[in-house]
Structure 1
């Protein structure tokens, strides 16, 4: 016996041929537009910045409390896990910054045409990568 849902999964493509389709968009079928992915990541990086700020606050408070507290905080920040967290925080900070500039441009009424918002989306991604790598190269050379 056929399931009722099977009837809902039948549709016609542009040539008129019968095809099976999913009941709802799925990750295997639906492709995220760049602007949607950037919008979601903008929110996620806002949360990541908050968590990273707690880590930086711990480092600053440890510096104010005692030499031993600062030494342990500094040791953690210099460890592989600490550097990875700092790199992620830097990446989130720059992404959120550049995506925020993109939103400010939109608020001014510019960049709503599909070619414009695709270009600005890729500009956010590229600027984030370049700025993060540049800051880390300078930071590691100075360190």
Structure 2
């Protein structure tokens, strides 16, 4: 007679409802999302460069979009995305060199990367607005 196998009790893999969201987890997910968003932003930079090279009419069309308040928000977000990805990449470089891998240091470095990206964005746009005479 054939022997029947009994089901082996195996642990279930945990899913997102079980994990507590940490700053390192959120920054890792955000780093990937921002990386994808940079592709779209780079297309806008390419449009700007092409419009600049093409002539005044093409540049005026670009400027009408970029100068609109929606365009300004997109440019602000692109600036933040660039700086966030930069500081997140620096954070990963530290981790590649086995520096700051304990939980407390990793959390601190993640917060510093987030604060630096936000602060850097405000500084860049402060300089832009000051040079334009907006402020």
Regarding TM over 0.5, the answer is yes
> Where does the alignment leave 5 or more consecutive residues of structure 1 unmatched?
1-22
Partner of 1:142: 131
1:122 counterpart = 2:111? yes
SS at match of 1:42: helix
Does the alignment pair 1:76 with 2:65?
Answer: yes
Tell whether 2:69 aligns with 1:88.
no
Larger RCO, structure (CA 8 Å, separation 6 or more): 2
- Alpha-carbon separation, structure 1, partners of 2:15 and 2:119: 37
Residue deviations 1:108-134 (CA, integer Å, cap 9, x gap):
111110111010011011101110000
Matched, 1:38 2:27: yes
Count of equivalent residues: 119
How big is the shift at 1:80? 0.7
1:67 aligns with 2:56: yes
RMSD of aligned alpha carbons: 1.4
